[in-house]
Amino acid sequence: MTEREATRLSRARRARGAAAGVVVVILILAAAFFRLQVLGVGDFRLQSTNNRLRPIPIPAARGAVTDRHGQLLAESIPGYSISLLPSPEDSARATLERLAPYLGLDDAAVGSLLERRRRQPQLPLRVRDDLSFEQVAAVEERRPQFRAVVIETHPRRRYPGGAAVAHVIGYVSEISQSELDREQFADYSPGRVIGKQGVERTYERVLTGTDGQRHVEVNALGSIVREFPSELAQPAVQGDDLVLTLDLDLQQFTDSIFPPGYRGGVVALDPRTGEVLLLYSHPTFDPNLFVGGISGADWARLRDDPAQPLLNRAAAALYPPGSTWKLVLATLAMREGTAEIGSYMPTSCRGALQFGRRPFRCWRPEGHGALDLSSAIKESCNVFFYQLGLRFGLDAFLAGADALGFNSPTGLDLPGEVSGRYPPDREWYDRRFGRFGWTESVVLNLSIGQGETEQTLLRMVQFYSALATGNPPVVPHLLQSEVLDQVREDWRLDLPEPRRLELVDALTRVVNELGGTAYWHRPRDWTMAGKTGTAQNPHGDPHSWFIGFAPVDNPRIVIAAVVENGHPDNETSRAVPLASQIVSRHLGREGVPVDLPTPPVGPSEIRAPDPRAGAPMPALAPSADRRR
């Protein structure tokens, strides 16, 4: 073998080595492709799909809310919204800045939108959802500038009842970050509309529908290439409708006659079922302002208004119950046998009762003279009830009223209902004022509904509905539901029926007898029973209370009304005419048979001038007496 041949031979080996290298490398590459394309095809197909498909939520319309007669309180109407597809921050910012002039976005709005994009960069960004057709059309005309923009029709909330039902219906708005952080709303995504207040909040899960989803195909730059028909698409499912026990007409009527310039609230129940017929707070606001995001100016106006229009005075405000509380004491005392309807107290009313070193006054400086319990209720004599309270005893009074639920909320299906406040026992006073910081005289104040008792309209109206019917106390509720109609409170009045009727009779005298505190504003056609109240408070004139029910024989409505500072003098009670008119309106609409004979002299002539005039009225019977 020559050297040249040896070289050639070794060259043949080298060639074989190189050829083997080619084969091995190609096999390795083939194996790599096999791994990706056969073993990994499922994962990569999915990834490819995720790459190019963007889910677009189809917002579900919320269910409608109607009143007991089918009148719409809340509905969903079509609105236009503009969203931005997921895109890098820079291009999102540029698009928003180009959109700003067409949609009326200021710098702050752009900033907060970009902040929301940062939190959820993979979801479409809802820019505005309350756009007019003209605004949408302006953007659509400039489509080439706005490739990553989606225009959708979008259900939009509308409240036809407006301000009259604002505190009941509440309102919807975009979910807040703090709500998103709650476990309760773990399945909600940013930008979703959620019930914020009222029934919208309580029944959020019922009203809210299930958002659907569709897909668009986008390219690597985030521009939409086409709609993607996909089996993944889901239609939106509208939320369920709600029927409330409320009567829109009664709400609007109340809104129209509530004394202008005053604050207060009215609640009316059907005492047989606990259905809330009326729940009104004044002043009120237009819930439509909140839909699609309330403007800064509107929000500042509502928030800073000293009249607190957002406060629900019917369920979330506490008032001293004043003389309406006397029936609580009367009920307890009659139940325990401390007093009977014809009982007199040792000291007759001379305008005040001396207890310890100070006099406790009656509202009538010249005094009522000697009264039995029935007349003391009719004329609302404080001196009588001071003595009844003393005789009944502080401990029994505290424990007795506490057992009637005055220390807890009623459980109305509205967010924000507050609990009544009432001292459950002597220890409460010890804690509050110190062991020797208070005296037995607290029972005197408690006896006339002042001092340490503060109640909501709702709680008081519940007590009076139990008194009106003698049935176990109903639970107030807004949702029309036969199940809720049957729910009863745990506590009972435990008042023997004859005793209860005696109290009802006394309450009837309040309204229907000359000298009764509500006589001058009684309803014309129906016998109403009830109790006025004058609640002293540190904010000015006493609050004016009235709680009543009608017709007396078979009550269909129990109403409680408070007009803050509505009792400037003994002549004037703004709550009584308000309640009377509402009761008449309701009974008339319901077709309840008239149970009062038409008097020879028209009641309208007896009746006070239009209460809406706001002028001082010749109101309370005692003052009328005095005038006489």
Partner 1 sequence: MKADRPAIRRGLGDPALVGGAFLLALSGIAMIWSAGQVDVPSGVTGAWGRQLTWLGISLTAFAVVVRIPLRWMEWATPWIYGLSVVLLLAVLVIGSGPNTRSWLRLAGFSFQPAELAKLATILLLARWLGGRKEPETRLFGLWKPVLGVFVPFLLVMAQPDLGSAMIFVVILFSALYWAGCPLFTIFMLASPAISLLLGFSAPIWGVWFVVVIVALYVRRPFVAEGISVAIANLAAGALAAPLWHRLAPYQQRRLLVFLDPDVDPQGAGWHLIQSKVAIGSGGLFGQGFGQGPQKRLAFLPEQHTDFIFSVVGEELGLLGVLAFLVLLGWFLRRVLRVAADSPPGFGSLLVFCFFSVWFAHLVINIGMTVGLMPVTGLPLPFLSYGGSFLLTTFVGLALVCRVASEI
**Closest to partner 1 by CB, 146 or 253:** 146
Q: Interface with partner 1 includes 9 (CB under 8 A)?
A: no
- What residues form DSSP beta bridges with 549? 529, 558
**Closest to partner 1 by CB, 30 or 615:** 30
- Find all residues with CB under 8 Å of 457, minimum gap 6, and list them: 265, 266, 267, 313, 314, 315, 317, 319, 560, 561, 562
Q: Interface with partner 1 includes 19 (CB under 8 A)?
A: yes
**Closest to partner 1 by CB, 7 or 439:** 7
Cα 234 → chain centroid:
33
Q: Interface with partner 1 includes 24 (CB under 8 A)?
A: no
User: Rounded to an integer, what distance in angstroms lies between the CA atom of residue 219 and that of residue 213?
Assistant: 19
Instruction: State which of residues 108, 186, 220, 297 lies at the interface with partner 1 (CB under 8 A).
Output: 220
Burial degree of 49 (CB within 10 A; 0-12, 13-18, 19+): middle
Shortest distance, CB of residue 5 to partner 1, whole angstroms?
11
**Closest to partner 1 by CB, 92 or 250:** 92
Shortest distance, CB of residue 139 to partner 1, whole angstroms?
22
By the 8 A CB rule, do 279 and 308 touch?
no
Q: How many CB atoms lie within 10 A of CB 481?
A: 15
**Closest to partner 1 by CB, 149 or 414:** 149
DSSP class of 217? E
Shortest distance, CB of residue 46 to partner 1, whole angstroms?
8
Instruction: State which of residues 91, 223, 481, 570 lies at the interface with partner 1 (CB under 8 A).
Output: 223
User: Rounded to an integer, what distance in angstroms lies between the CA atom of residue 149 and that of residue 162?
Assistant: 33
User: Rounded to an integer, what distance in angstroms lies between the CA atom of residue 74 and that of residue 162?
Assistant: 9
**Closest to partner 1 by CB, 121 or 235:** 121
Number of residues that bind partner 1 (CB under 8 A): 41
- Closest Cα partner for 74 from 286, 270, 235? 286
Instruction: State which of residues 225, 237, 300, 606 lies at the interface with partner 1 (CB under 8 A).
Output: 225
H helices present in 107-247, as ranges: 107-119, 133-141, 166-169, 177-180, 198-202, 204-207
Instruction: State which of residues 104, 184, 221, 424 lies at the interface with partner 1 (CB under 8 A).
Output: 221
- Find all residues with CB under 8 Å of 332, minimum gap 6, and list them: 338, 392, 396, 397, 400, 401
**Closest to partner 1 by CB, 77 or 220:** 220
User: Rounded to an integer, what distance in angstroms lies between the CA atom of residue 201 and that of residue 44?
Assistant: 43
Q: Interface with partner 1 includes 439 (CB under 8 A)?
A: no
Q: Which one of 164-172, 220-228, 266-274, 540-548 is the stretch in contact with partner 1 (CB under 8 A)?
A: 220-228
Which token pair is 299? Answer: 């929000």
Interior/surface letters 56-70, b for 16+ CB within 10 angstroms, e for the rest: bbbbbbbbbbbbbee
CA atoms lying within 13 Å on the CB side of residue 112: 12
**Closest to partner 1 by CB, 37 or 153:** 37
By the 8 A CB rule, do 244 and 168 touch?
yes
**Closest to partner 1 by CB, 30 or 606:** 30
By the 8 A CB rule, do 97 and 114 touch?
no
Shortest distance, CB of residue 161 to partner 1, whole angstroms?
49
Which token pair is 507? Answer: 């309450």
Question: Pairing between strand 193-195 and 540-550?
Answer: unpaired
Q: Interface with partner 1 includes 21 (CB under 8 A)?
A: yes
Instruction: State which of residues 7, 153, 210, 256 lies at the interface with partner 1 (CB under 8 A).
Output: 7
Q: Interface with partner 1 includes 14 (CB under 8 A)?
A: yes
Q: Interface with partner 1 includes 145 (CB under 8 A)?
A: no
Shortest distance, CB of residue 27 to partner 1, whole angstroms?
9
Shortest distance, CB of residue 219 to partner 1, whole angstroms?
4
By the 8 A CB rule, do 204 and 195 touch?
yes
Q: Interface with partner 1 includes 11 (CB under 8 A)?
A: yes
Q: Interface with partner 1 includes 25 (CB under 8 A)?
A: yes
Q: Interface with partner 1 includes 291 (CB under 8 A)?
A: no
Shortest distance, CB of residue 481 to partner 1, whole angstroms?
52
- Site map 26..65 versus partner 1, x via CB under 8 A: x-xxx-xxx-xxx-xx-xxx-xx--xx-------------
**Closest to partner 1 by CB, 1 or 220:** 220
User: Rounded to an integer, what distance in angstroms lies between the CA atom of residue 519 and that of residue 512?
Assistant: 5
Give the H or E element holding residue 131: strand 125-131
Q: Interface with partner 1 includes 514 (CB under 8 A)?
A: no
Report the interface residues with partner 1, using CB under 8 A. 3-4, 7-8, 10-12, 14-15, 18-19, 21-23, 25-26, 28-30, 32-34, 36-38, 40-41, 43-45, 47-48, 51-52, 217-221, 223, 225
